[in-house]
Chain A
Amino acid sequence: MPTVFEEKKKDKILVNRGPLVERTIMTPLTSFAVSPEGIRFETQEQEEKVVLFLRQHLVVLLGPLLLVILLALAPVLIFPVLFQYLTLPIDVPISYVIVGTAFWYVVTFGFALMSFLRWFFNIYVVTDKRIVDIDFIHLLYKEFSEARLDKIQDISFKSSGIFSVFFDFGDAYVQTAGGDLPNIEFLAVPSPARVVEAISDLLEKQKT
Chain B
Amino acid sequence: MSADVTNIIFVLFKFLILFGFGLYIVFAAVILRQEQLMANVLEESFEPVLRFASFLHLVAAIGVFLLALLIL
Q: What residues of chain A have their CB less than 8 Å away from a CB belonging to chain B?
A: 26-28, 38-42, 89-90, 93, 95-96, 98-99, 102-103, 106-107, 109-110, 113-114, 116-117, 120-121, 123, 134, 136, 139-140, 142, 144
Q: Which residue of chain B has the shortest Cβ distance to A144 in the bound complex?
A: B41
Contact B30 A140 (CB under 8 A): yes
Contact check: which of B6, B9, B38, B67 meets A121 at CB < 8 Å?
A: B38
Residues of A within 8 A of B10 (CB): 93
Does chain A have a CB within 8 A of B12?
no
Label chain A's interface by main secondary structure.
mixed
Residues of B within 8 A of A41 (CB): 41-43
Contact check: which of B50, B54, B60 meets A106 at CB < 8 Å?
A: B60
Interface size on B, residues (CB 8 A): 36
- Given the interface pairs A39-B44, A136-B38, the reply to whether A106 lies near B64 with Cβ below 8 Å is yes
**Chain B 56-70 per-residue mask, 1 if CB under 8 angstroms from chain A, else 0:** 110011011001100
Label chain B's interface by main secondary structure.
helix
Q: Which residue of chain B has the shortest Cβ distance to A90 in the bound complex?
A: B6
Q: What residues of chain B have their CB less than 8 Å away from a CB belonging to chain A?
A: 1, 6, 9-10, 17, 21, 24, 27-28, 30-31, 34-35, 37-38, 40-46, 49-50, 53-54, 56-57, 60-61, 63-64, 67-68, 71-72
A–B Cβ pairs within 8 angstroms, 13 of them:
A98-B67, A103-B24, A106-B24, A106-B57, A106-B64, A109-B60, A110-B24, A110-B27, A110-B31, A117-B35, A120-B50, A121-B42, A139-B31
Q: Which residue of chain A has the shortest Cβ distance to B62 in the bound complex?
A: A106
Q: Which residue of chain B has the shortest Cβ distance to A94 in the bound complex?
A: B71
Q: Give the distance to chain A from B63, nearest Cβ to Cβ, in Å.
A: 8
18 additional contacts (CB under 8 A) given A96-B72, A98-B67, A117-B35: A26-B45, A28-B46, A40-B42, A41-B41, A41-B42, A90-B9, A95-B71, A95-B72, A99-B64, A99-B72, A102-B67, A109-B56, A109-B57, A109-B60, A110-B27, A114-B31, A134-B42, A139-B30
Interface centre among A121, A140, A144 (most CB of B within 10 A): A121
Contact A98 B31 (CB under 8 A): no
